[in-house]
Structure 1
Amino acid sequence: MASRILYDSPALTISVNYLDDWLYLDWHGQLDDEAIVPGALKLLELLKQERCAKILNDNTHVSGLWADAAKWGGNVIFPQLHAAGCRYFSWVHSPERYSQLSAELAMQQTSAGITFMSFQDLPTAAAWLRRM
């Protein structure tokens, strides 16, 4: 089996892809700060457990504005992810503009040492991450 679900909540499903050696985050629904923070903390726990250096973050099924969580992510969670071993973060944008703005804010807020790239579709994001 190439992947396995490690965590499943109403806002986030996290699976490990053994073939590509990354964590895949599938965020879904109308996100807000209260939905994002617990998911991000679970991600940190699972990243330490699985010892992956790569994250494929899929916001394809996301809507909503989550600017406060974006700032928190940039200032708090991304530096912790880097300390736990994350080096590459491939981010697939939501088609919804407010969610895109929140994601851009999160990436701009951090100087964590993680290489971020954002994409409009999952296949392109996965292809970039495979090259890293």
Structure 2
Amino acid sequence: MGQQVLYETPQISIRYDDYAEWLHVEWIGDQDYESVVSGATKMLEYLEQQGCRKVLNDNTLVTSMWADAAEWGGKEWFPAMRAAGCEYFAWVYSSNVYSRLSTDLTIQYTAAGIVILTFDDINIARLWLQQM
């Protein structure tokens, strides 16, 4: 299973998994409005470029609250992701309670038609996404 690195900064890594045909996105450390918007915009760009329908979004290493970006994510970004072809979104929670709350808030703002499931375990998230 080969993963091609598409974009990488200290706060985010975006890879394309050739075998599974999904974006694998790993968020790292403290996140805020600017880093979330910047990283999510790159995700949208690479989703379109790769023509994939699935995202494995891993927040395991996120260490902060980023709720100020939740409304933007739910109301603007997720609809743009859906329009670009995203159908399934596996979201792996951080153990940081404030990051988890930010994730849940984003999902509450979302009515984009993407199937979004949250997970505590990345391996379970992978299994679910493989079945979609």
Give the TM bin, normalised by the shorter chain.
Answer: over 0.9
Q: Deviations over 1:91-116 (max 9, x none)?
A: 00000000000001111111000000
TM (normalized to structure 2)? 0.98
Q: Which runs of 4+ in 1 moved over 4 A?
A: none
2:49 alignment counterpart: 49
- Tell me the distance in 2 between the aligned counterparts of 1:9 and 1:69: 19
Residue ranges of structure 2 left out of the alignment (5+ in a row)? none
In the TM superposition, what is the alpha-carbon distance from 1:45 to its structure 2 partner? 0.6
1:125 alignment counterpart: 125
- Tell me the distance in 1 between the aligned counterparts of 2:129 and 2:97: 24
- Tell me the distance in 1 between the aligned counterparts of 2:94 and 2:23: 18
Q: Deviations over 1:66-96 (max 9, x none)?
A: 1121110000000000000000000000000
SS at 1:65 equivalent? coil
- Tell me the distance in 2 between the aligned counterparts of 1:83 and 1:10: 28
Quick check: 1:27 aligned with 2:27? yes
Q: What amino acid does structure 2 have at the position aligned with 1:92?
A: V
State percent identity of aligned pairs: 47
Residue ranges of structure 1 left out of the alignment (5+ in a row)? none
1:18 alignment counterpart: 18
- Tell me the distance in 2 between the aligned counterparts of 1:87 and 1:80: 12
1:103 alignment counterpart: 103
SS at 1:86 equivalent? coil
Q: What amino acid does structure 2 have at the position aligned with 1:64?
A: S
In the TM superposition, what is the alpha-carbon distance from 1:121 to its structure 2 partner? 1.0
- Tell me the distance in 2 between the aligned counterparts of 1:126 and 1:2: 15
SS at 1:76 equivalent? helix
Q: Deviations over 1:16-40 (max 9, x none)?
A: 0010000000000011111111001
1:79 alignment counterpart: 79
In the TM superposition, what is the alpha-carbon distance from 1:46 to its structure 2 partner? 0.5
TM (normalized to structure 1)? 0.98
Matches within 5 A, 1:55-66: 55-66=55-66
How many residue pairs get aligned? The number is 132
